[in-house]
Amino acid sequence: MATLELALEDEAGATPAGRRRRLGTLFWIAIGWMALVFAVAIFADLLPLPSPTDMDMLERRAPISAEHWLGTDGLGRDELSRLIYGARISLIVGLCAPVIGVTIGGALGMLAGYFRGRFESFVVGSMDVLLAFPPLILALAVTAYLGQSIFNLTCILGVLGIPAFMRVARAATLSLARREFVIAAQALGATHTRILLRELLPNVLLPLLAFFLLGVAVTIVVEGSLSFLGLGVPPPISSWGSMIGEGRESLDVAPQLAFIPAIAMFLTVLSFNLIGDTIRALTDPRQGAL
Amino acid sequence: MSGVLLSVEDAVVDLPTPRGNLRAVDHVDLAVDAGKTLGIVGESGCGKTMLSRTILQLLPKKAKLSGRVMFDGQDLLKLSPEKLRKLRGRSLAVVFQDPMTSLNPVLTIGTQLIETIQEHLELGLAQARQRSIELLAAVGIPAPEQRLAQYPHQLSGGMRQRVAIAVALSCEPQLLIADEPTTALDVTIQAQILDLLAREQQRRHMAMIIITHDLGVVAGRTDEVAVMYAGRVVERAPTPLLFKQMRMPYTEALLAALPKLDAAPHTPLPAISGRPPDQTRPLKGCSFSPRCRYAAGRCNTEKPSLRAEAPQHFYACFHPIAAGVDA
Amino acid sequence: MMQQVSSDPLLKVENLVVEYSVGGKTIHAVSDVSLEIARGETLGLVGESGCGKSTLGRAVLQLRQAVSGTVLFDGHDLAAMQGDSLRKMRRRVQLIFQDPIASLNPRRRIGDIVAEPLVISGVKDPNKRKQIVSDVLSAVGLDPALVSGRLPHEFSGGQCQRICIARALVLNPEFIICDEPVSALDVSIRAQILNLLEEMKTRYGLTLLFIAHDLAVVKAVSDRVAVMYLGRLCEVGPSEQLFATPAHPYTALLIEAIPVPDPDIRPTQSIPVGEPPSPIAPPSGCRFRTRCPRADARCASEVPELRMVAPRQFAACHHPLI
């Protein structure tokens, strides 16, 4: 029958020309900065750096020199070394906390959006309670009971991120679960697990990933604020936030002590956002099709 | 009253896309006489909506347009934005496919109608209100006075389309463009809306352009039909002539592909193989040639131009369906 | 059963009632519908949007819970089945949707999408799966080598519908519910898909329930046609007979409303002004009475039963046209 012909050139013509879209220089600068930050944070122990906790009371707030590339802080500790070790803490907390959020929040959101009903009401309700709780008070309470540690800090920030990830996952699942391809899978007799993992997860993952990178950026800032307030990592460990907090005391004599970690944090957060946006734009399957 | 009300001369619309330049409208010439109805028929993506937007001068910002659009003696391309705005709504009105998106969801029907009338006709509130009620009654809306206080979402699809028509008719336009006015509606409602449009057109002696993908919609309700394919008008003729002596194989194929009510069940339909071309990669020859059963020789290398057979019958084909041969 | 079509129908729907609530209001989507479909038959189901025809299709597949009534597929009561046995039964019944692009997962490759039913039904051997998938893709007119590795957005609507048909066929089902399979497609593509469905029907020995709002399309593929209005069945009969001599005024209205591509036939202006009432509060008695030219007091008080008006033709009307 004449209906069953589809010219081959026709098929080739359907290939989107935009497979390799230009990523732009900004994206590569962001990638470069991230690579640098990750590299020095990971290999901090191997770098020929002075110890970040060694105090030299004779050289307090020393200016930039060959010995101290970025000078020293109010207690005479090497600023560059503190910055690099601080990057470790900021990145560990900044990455691990959103992982907690995305795993628990994402799973809850998908289940709530797919099964609806009472389970959804329960999840949404409890998340609203969590959101309504002032985060600073929660952080204060937990650190007061369990003590100040990186692990506790990460857990607090992670838990605080759950409602946001739950909302993103639920919203995406809600709209997807009504789409025909999900109904088609149900009609095929696929199990709920299979539908959640094979049909929904790949589609929900992308908005979640984009939000995850945003979450990393936000967490780094929040960790900074908490450390700034003295609720973050316990001294003498440095994080960017605690460095800014300590630098505040000498803002008039040595402004670089607050500004250098602030700039590092600014660039890192900006890079995460830039990369997140680009990845989201890149992997949207519909963009290629005009 | 006669004479050309609207003429589109050599219109070309180019749209830049990520995949390259898309020629949405490709050297189109059209004319509509006052009080007459033109049907524009084509499949999705053939450029019929871009053509209507060209006439309304509502093209997307990045689109490039060349050619001339003459309406009532003025070149629309040369009018100031202010004058154009006055012209649209006053003399040139439009009814879209989806009345839910063309009506403002947060304003009552009364507000939308009365404001349009007040703005364009400079009537007082009481007069404008009276006129709105008359209009709603004219488009067949029961209890028009109560409807004025309702919001679009409180009405059914057919009722909303009636309201959209009332808004379009409110300023006694000289030309009404109906862009797929019934595609979103059910069959029984479709017939009612088409009847309504025809009735109002006759009563107001207004010119009308009906844009549709359904040859059945234009058959009994237009004076002239233009068939579009891949941005070009490929055949244009007075409606009876077009249906009886079509020359363009695409028109023939389009008509043949419609399921017929008088055919027995399970009769295979003469389908058009393949699919419309990608307009970002224009073909060298006739754009219908890859799907055409008459295509041969120069169809693949040369673009046929639109030529006249009878004074009013134009088609763009090297191998037209022979006269007298019943397709 | 009054409208019995064969002694051993493949699908038998009896007194099916489907209701669901939206915003606290009950929508009477399907009210007391009984239908039979014989093996190898195509039953067309027509009606305007909101008449419950899609809900009926989904209720047959148990994708929507029925309030009451039974759905017997090959003698088995689908509503009574659960878990594994229902899943097994579902493999014999497939569904094709209106929006072909939305019914394909945008992030999975065509090869995987078409193979999915095989994976679910436990075909473990990847080579065997690949073979079946490529056979069925060729059957629907697509080149497996070119198509398998691509994502749905790289295809046009018509091609996506071919892929959906391939996915529906891959398990070798007996029964396919086509829910408006061509209404999202252009005229030239529509004919291709209709022809393909017909060809697949003969090739795979299928029974079809063809749901559409376009009578001309339904007539082109159906042996029998059922007309639905506001959740109730108005008329059932052999296609040609139903179109030649409609008994229910609603069927007549639908036929009359079809635009005919012939400039000599001036459209008649006899269609009553009026719109379907809301399925939240359907009219009493005959649901069509508010738009019916023949309605009288009896139509308002008494629900018309489906009864035989001609051989094999049944209508639910107190004042049938024949």
Residue C204 has pLDDT above 70, yes or no: yes
Whether the per-residue pLDDT at A16 is higher than 60: the answer is no
Cis preceding linkage at A236, omega within 30? yes
Phi-psi region of A201 (alpha: psi -120 to 50; beta: other; left: phi over 0): alpha
pLDDT grade, residue C268 (50/70/90)?
A: low
Confidence (pLDDT) at C61: 86
Question: What residues 88-127 of chain C have any CB closer than 8 A to a CB of chain A?
Answer: 88, 90-91, 93-95, 97-99, 102-108, 116-117, 120-121
Burial of residue B236, with CB atoms counted within 10 A of its CB: 0-12 exposed, 13-18 middle, 19 or more buried? buried
Size of interface B-C (CB pairs under 8 A): 145
CB A5 within 8 A of CB B273: yes
Predicted confidence (pLDDT) per residue in A98-137, tens digit: 999 999 999 999 999 998 888 889 999 998 888 888 877 8
pLDDT at position B327 over 60:
no
C106–A3 C-beta distance less than 8 A = no
Q: How far apart are CA C98 and CA C105, in angstroms?
A: 15
Are B269 and C195 inside 8 Å of each other by CB?
yes
Starting at the earlier edge strand, list the strands of the sheet with B74-75.
Answer: B20-33, B4-17, B64-71, B74-75
Q: Do A2 and B273 touch (CB under 8 A)?
A: yes
* Residue of C49, C98, C188 best to disrupt the B interface, most CBs of B under 10 A: C188
Asked if residues B9 and B67 have their Cβ atoms less than 8 Å apart, the reply is yes
Higher-confidence residue: A48 or C96? C96
| pLDDT tens digits along B196-239 | 888 888 888 899 999 998 888 888 889 999 999 999 999 999 99
Residue C211: the pLDDT is 94
Q: What is the C-alpha separation between B252 and C123, in angstroms, rounded?
A: 47
Of the candidates B159, B188, B217, the beta carbon closest to that of C271 is on B188
pLDDT of residue C168: 92
Task: Give the integer Cα–Cα distance in Å for C60 and C69.
Answer: 11
Chain-chain contact of C263 with B158 (C-beta, under 8 angstroms): no
Give SS3 for C67. Answer: coil
Q: Any CB–CB contact under 8 A between C251 and chain B?
A: no
Q: Which long-range contacts (CB under 8 A, 24 or more apart) does B155-158 make?
A: B155/B109, B156/C275, B156/C276, B157/B99, B157/B100, B157/B184, B157/B185, B157/B186, B157/B189, B157/C49, B158/B185, B158/B186, B158/B189, B158/B192, B158/B193, B158/C275
DSSP A197: I
CB contact under 8 A, B243 and C263: yes
Interchain contact, C198 vs B266, CB within 8 Å:
yes
Segment B177-195, tens digit of pLDDT: 999 888 878 888 888 888 8
Rounded to the nearest 5 degrees, what angle is found at the Cα of C206, between the Cα atoms of C205 and C209? 160
Report the distance separating Cα A278 and Cα C44, nearest Å.
Answer: 48
Q: Are B178 and B95 in contact, with CB atoms under 8 Å apart?
A: yes
Q: How far is Cα A212 from Cα B92, in angstroms, rounded to an integer?
A: 50
* Percent of all residues in chain C with a pLDDT value above 90, rounded to a whole number: 48
Counting residues of chain B whose pLDDT is more than 70, the rounded percentage is: 98
Q: Does residue A285 contact residue C110 with C-beta atoms inside 8 Å? A: no
By CB atoms closer than 10 A (0-12, 13-18, 19+), residue A188 is buried
DSSP conformation letters of A99-136: HHHHHHHHHHHHHHHHH-HHHHHHHHHHHHHHHHS-HH
Q: List subunits contacting chain C, requiring 3 or more Cβ pairs under 8 Å.
A: A, B
**In the 8-state DSSP scheme, what is residue B142?**
S
How far B147 CA lies from chain C's nearest CA (Å)? 15
Provide the domain limits for residue B217: 1-90+213-258+269-326
CA-closest candidate to residue A67, choices A79, A84, A55: A79
Q: Longest Cα pair distance anywhere in chain A, in angstroms?
A: 93
What share of chain B has pLDDT > 90, as a percent? 20
Whether the Cβ atoms of residue A184 and residue C167 lie closer than 8 Å to each other: yes
pLDDT digits (tens, 9 = 90+) for C9-57: 899 999 999 998 877 788 889 999 999 999 999 999 998 888 889 899 9
pLDDT tens digit sequence for B94-145: 888 877 777 888 888 888 888 888 888 888 888 899 989 988 888 888 888 8
**pLDDT at residue C125 tops 70:** yes
Total structural domains within chain B = 1
β-bridge partners, B174:
none
Q: Which pLDDT score is estimated for A286?
A: 54
* pLDDT above 50 (res C267): yes
Q: What is the pLDDT of residue A11?
A: 39
Q: What is the pLDDT of residue C63?
A: 85
Looking at A16-116, list the stretches that DSSP marks H as alpha helix, in order from N- to C-terminal side. Answer: 25-42, 79-115
Cα–Cα dist C56/C66, whole Å: 9
Q: Is the pLDDT of residue A20 over 60?
A: no
**Chain C residues closer than 8 Å to A5 by CB:** 141
Do residues C266 and B194 lie in contact, with contact meaning Cβ atoms separated by under 8 Å? no
Structure-derived torsion over alpha carbons of residues B152, B154, B156, B160, reported in degrees to the nearest 10: -20
In the predicted model, what is the mean pLDDT of chain B? Answer: 86
pLDDT score for A289? 34
Residue A272 CA to residue A252 CA, distance in Å, equals 31
**B28: in domain:** yes
pLDDT in tens, B44-75: 888 888 898 899 888 888 888 999 999 988 88
Do residues B10 and B198 touch, judged by C-beta distance below 8 A?
A: no
Q: Å from C199 to nearest chain B CA? A: 9
Q: Please name which of B106, B222, B217, B99 lies closest in space to residue B167, comparing C-alpha atoms.
A: B99
All residues of chain B having their beta carbon less than 8 Å from the beta carbon of residue C275 are 156, 158-159, 189
Confidence at residue A57, expressed as pLDDT on a 0 to 100 scale:
66
Residue B183 burial (CB < 10 Å; 0-12/13-18/19+)? middle
> What was the pLDDT predicted at A133?
80
**What is chain C's length?**
322
Check CB contact of C99 with chain B, cutoff 8 Å: no
* pLDDT over threshold 50, residue A3: no
For residues C133 and C118, the answer to whether their CB atoms sit within 8 Å is yes
Tens digit of pLDDT for each residue in B307-317?
A: 888 888 999 99
Q: In this complex, do B275 and A3 lie within 8 Å of one another by their Cβ atoms?
A: no
Residue B166 lies in a domain: no
In order of B31, B215, B313, B315, the CA distances from B225 in angstroms are 11, 9, 10, 12
The DSSP bridge pattern shows strands C93-96 and C175-179 to be: parallel
Hey, are the CB atoms on C97 and A180 less than 8 Å from each other? yes
Contact C16, C34 (CB under 8 A): yes
* pLDDT over 60 at C178, yes or no: yes
Q: Cβ–Cβ of C153/A289 closer than 8 Å? A: yes
Chain C contact present for A184, CB below 8 A:
yes
Instruction: Round the average pLDDT of chain C to a whole number and report it.
Output: 88
| Chain B contacts in chain A segment 19-58 (CB below 8 A) | 21
Testing the interface with C: which of A1, A5, A6 to mutate, by most C Cβ within 10 A? A6
- Amino acid at residue number A159: V
DSSP-derived secondary structure for B51-119: HHHHHHT---TT-EEEEEEEETTEEGGGS-HHHHHHHHHHTEEEE-S-HHHHS-TTS-HHHHHHHHHHH
- Chain A partners (3+ C-beta pairs within 8 A): B, C
- Number of Cβ pairs < 8 A linking chain A and chain B: 29
Query: Nearest Cβ partner of A290 from B17, B274, B281?
Result: B17
Q: Which amino acid is at A284?
A: D
pLDDT digits (tens, 9 = 90+) for C188-203: 888 999 999 999 999 9
More confident: A255 or A34 = A34
Give the up-direction half-sphere exposure of residue A152: CA atoms within 13 A in the CB hemisphere: 18
What are the structure tokens assigned to C150, written together?
Answer: 């691509």
Q: Assign residue A92 a region (left: φ > 0; alpha: ψ between -120 and 50; beta: otherwise).
A: alpha
Apex A7 CA angle, B42 and C170, nearest 5: 100
Residue with more model confidence, A191 or B207:
B207
Q: How far is C171 from chain A (nearest CA, A)?
A: 9
What average pLDDT score do residues A162-169 get?
A: 91
Cβ contacts of residue B169 below 8 Å, gap of 6+?
Answer: B93, B135, B138, B139, B176, B200, B204
pLDDT of residue A218: 84
CATH architecture of A34-39+76-289: Orthogonal Bundle (1.10)
Q: Which of C120, C142, C171 sits opposite A194 (nearest CB)?
A: C120
Q: What is the dihedral of CA B131, B132, B134, B140, to 10 degrees?
A: 160
Judged by a CB distance cut-off of 8 A, whether residue C222 touches chain B is yes
C169 inside 8 A of chain A by CB: no
Q: What pLDDT was estimated at residue A254?
A: 75
pLDDT beyond 60 at B38: yes
Task: Reply yes or no on whether the pLDDT at A19 is more than 50.
Answer: no
Most confident range, picked from B81-90, B193-202, C165-174: C165-174
Residue with tokens 């540690």: A149
Sign of CA dihedral A186, A189, A191, A195: negative
User: Is B294 within a domain?
Assistant: yes
List the CATH number of the domain containing B44. Answer: 3.40.50.300
Instruction: Name the phi and psi angles at C55, rounded to 5.
Output: -60, -40
pLDDT at C111: 93
Q: What is the torsional sign of CA B256, C176, C287, C310?
A: positive
In chain A, the residue whose alpha carbon lies closest to the alpha carbon of C57 is: A187
Q: How far is B275 from chain A (nearest CA, A)?
A: 8
pTM of the model: 0.82
* CA count, 13 A, side-chain hemisphere, C50: 14
Residue C164 has pLDDT above 90, yes or no: yes
Establish if B37 belongs to a structural domain: yes
Residue of A nearest to B17 (CA): A290
**Top-confidence range, A54-58, A235-239, B225-229, C79-83:** B225-229
- Distance separating alpha carbons of residues B243 and B217, to the nearest angstrom: 13
Top-confidence residue, A248 or C115: C115
Distance, in Å, from the CA atom of C196 to the CA atom of C204, rounded to the nearest integer, reads 12
